[in-house]
Amino acid sequence: MKSARWSVILLAFLTFPAAVPGSPQGSNPHSDKTTSSAWSALLGSMERMHAATTSIEESGTSDVDFVRLMLPHHQAALDMARTQLMYGKDPEIRRLAQEIITDQQSEIELMQLWLKQHEPQR
C-alpha cells in the first residue's frame, strides 16, 4: 500500500506543471535536453493512459470496470517509473521507482488473471 500511495502522489505531482516566476507556466529555465526527454516520456505515459482509459466501455459490473480502468493506470505508473530509472538521479526516488515497478507489475498480473476469470464473455 505504501508504494500505491507514493504512486498517486508522484502521479499528481507530475501531472501539474510547476510555475516558475518570470517565465511561462510549466517552463523551466534550468532544463536541459535530458530533462526535456524525461518530461516528454512522462507526458507520453500519461497520454497513453488517458487514451486507454477513455476507450474502455462500461461492462455493467463495477468490479470488472474497476480492474479494466486500473490496468492502464498501473501501466502508466510502470512506464513513468522506468523513465525515472533512465533519467533520475536521486537515489531515494530511484528506489521508489523500482518499488513501483515491482509492486505495479505484480498487481497488473493479478488483475489480468482476475479478469480472465470474471470478465463477461463477448
At 59 the pLDDT is 93
Provide the domain limits for residue 72.
1-12+62-122
CATH number at residue 5: 1.20.1260.10
First to last CA, the chain: 33
Note whether residue 23 is domain-resident.
no
- Cell representation of residue 111: 488483475
Cβ distance 78 to 100 under 8 Å?
Answer: yes
Least confident of 32-41, 80-89, 102-111: 32-41
Residue 27 reports pLDDT greater than 60: no
Q: How far, in Å, CA of 26 to CA of 116, rounded?
A: 42
| Mean pLDDT, range 1-21, rounded to an integer | 47
- Number of independent structural domains in the chain: 1
Note whether residue 52 is domain-resident.
no
pLDDT-based confidence at residue 26 (cuts at 50, 70, 90): very low
Note whether residue 57 is domain-resident.
no
Note whether residue 30 is domain-resident.
no
The share of the chain scoring above pLDDT 90, in percent, equals 68
pLDDT-based confidence at residue 2 (cuts at 50, 70, 90): low
Note whether residue 73 is domain-resident.
yes
